[in-house]
Amino acid sequence: MNRERTLERVEELGLLAVVRGESREAALEVVAALVEGGVLGIEITFTTPEAERVLEDLRDEYGERILLGAGTIEEPGQVEQAVVGGATFLVSPGCDPDLVSLMLETGLAVMPGILTPTELMLARRSGAEVFKLFPGSVGGPSHLKALRGPFPDAALLPTGGVSEENVRDWFAAGAFAVGAGGALAPVALKDGCHREEIVARARSFAEAVREAADSVAG
């Protein structure tokens, strides 16, 4: 999947689940529950043990049924691991110009992390097209809306502080899509009952995102 189509699909899905599994097995179990609940945008962070192997497992299991990406990229070596693992998009928590340039050289969709106008300007200058607003909890939807004042065309994807309860506010403020970590994806499943809870949460969260995006588009 090329970069343009990946970004189109991010916007279509409207939601990326940020998975920080406590182990390789735990991450795979969490993703299976999320996919069953209809969450198809999956970001595996490099804080997950054996992240590259998790990516490979998910690529082999789901193929293009899911939109698979790698997050919390902080080191050059992780860029190569993400590509080998089958990621279609790359996410960093911050905006290191050298690292962003290396990420862009892969030809994949790249989402550097930003919080301030200065960081957004640096990230745009690097060539990135979508920007992870992190942590979103610092300023909330009002901060995103304020950034879109001087940068009305900036595609901002807030992560951190996004919940089912406030997702409508994020889209109303102008979010391109949203990322959800702990509010959606636990580090591990406790038991069968808990798994059903995560499936139900995923289904409800995905529906809330669809309704929020539709309300803004309509």
Q: How many domains does the chain have?
A: 1
Q: Is residue 218 part of a domain?
A: no
Q: Is residue 157 part of a domain?
A: yes
Q: According to the model, what pLDDT value does residue 190 have? A: 86
Q: Each residue of 159-217: pLDDT tens digit?
A: 999 999 999 999 999 999 999 999 999 999 987 779 999 999 999 999 999 999 998 88
Average pLDDT, the chain: 96
Instruction: Tell me the average pLDDT across 31-59.
Output: 98
Structure tokens at 59: 């690529």
Specify whether 61 is catalytic. no
Q: According to the model, what pLDDT value does residue 193 have? A: 74
Structure tokens at 185: 């994806």
Q: Each residue of 95-134: pLDDT tens digit?
A: 999 999 999 999 999 999 999 999 999 999 999 999 999 9
**105 in Cβ contact with 94 (< 8 Å):** no
Cα 204 to chain centroid, rounded: 18
CATH code (residue 174):
3.20.20.70
The one catalytic residue among 8, 29, 43, 207 = 43
Give residue 52's domain range.
3-213
**Cα–Cα distance, 27 to 79 (Å, whole number):** 20
The one catalytic residue among 61, 64, 132, 190 = 132
Specify whether 43 is catalytic. yes
Flag whether pLDDT at 80 surpasses 80. yes
Q: Is residue 19 part of a domain?
A: yes
